[in-house]
Amino acid sequence: MKKIIFTLLFFQSIFTVAQSSDVNQIKADSKAFFKALETLDYEHFMEMTYPSVFEVYDKETFKASMKEAFQGNEEIRLEFVDLSDTEVSISRVYELDNPKTKYAFVTYPTKMKMIFHNQTFDESMQEMMKMMMETDLMKIEFLNNNTLLMNQKSMMIAVFDSKTNSKWKYLNFETEMDMDAFLPEKVIKDANNHFQAYLNGN
């Protein structure tokens, strides 16, 4: 009996250490990921992105879209607020046998400004914008008549599998995106459940 208990405790210890190591890596990666976004380091951002994304979306087109959104155009520009100081919450690390996959969920709040260069909004228009844009995920606040602040609940899926070259890679979770092209069904199901619990404050 003592031998069985010792064996169980030994394997539990190994599992706990492995979990801690993975979670610490994911936390460090998340900070680096946010810094890349905040400093508009698109190459670093794409390096940390789950590779399957670029099997569906052309990498250069993806990069160009990011540049246009965050560096702006004549009409509009997006800007993250205090992203590098964001506190993340990381789930435990899950494992899937077929295909062999480790995954975890990273939830965090984001603040982003939307700045309009050639348009202003009076009070009635601001209320209309709020009605159009606000969801369970996002709340809207106007900072002035041409800048609004979006407060959003967000989640990334951290993935470690045969495609990631022995590193953790990351995929932004979008409820409206068909994610079957990227990840196994079990991972997507767990992601939906985790995200819903996050929205409900659990």
Does any domain span residue 153?
A: yes
Per-residue pLDDT at 38: 82
Does any domain span residue 14?
A: no
| 202 pLDDT tier (thresholds 50, 70, 90) | low
Does any domain span residue 179?
A: yes
Does any domain span residue 142?
A: yes
For the record, the structure tokens of 144 come out as 């002035």
Percent of the chain past pLDDT 90, that is, above it, reads: 35
Does any domain span residue 82?
A: yes
Q: CA angle 107-110-113, nearest 5°?
A: 165
Does any domain span residue 12?
A: no
Mean pLDDT value across residues 171-195: 86
Does any domain span residue 160?
A: yes
pLDDT tens string 74-122:
788 888 887 777 889 999 999 988 889 999 999 998 888 889 988 899 9
CATH of the domain at 90: 3.10.450
Mean pLDDT value across residues 65-81: 80
Domain span including residue 156: 22-199
Pick from 106, 101, 80, 93: nearest CA to 28: 106
Per-residue pLDDT at 19: 55
Task: Kindly report the average pLDDT of the chain as a whole number.
Answer: 83
Whether the Cβ atoms of residue 21 and residue 102 lie closer than 8 Å to each other:
no
Pick from 108, 140, 92: nearest CA to 34: 108
Per the structure, the count of domains in the chain is 1
Does any domain span residue 8?
A: no
Distance of CA 193 to the CA centre of its chain: 15
pLDDT tens string 24-34:
999 999 888 88
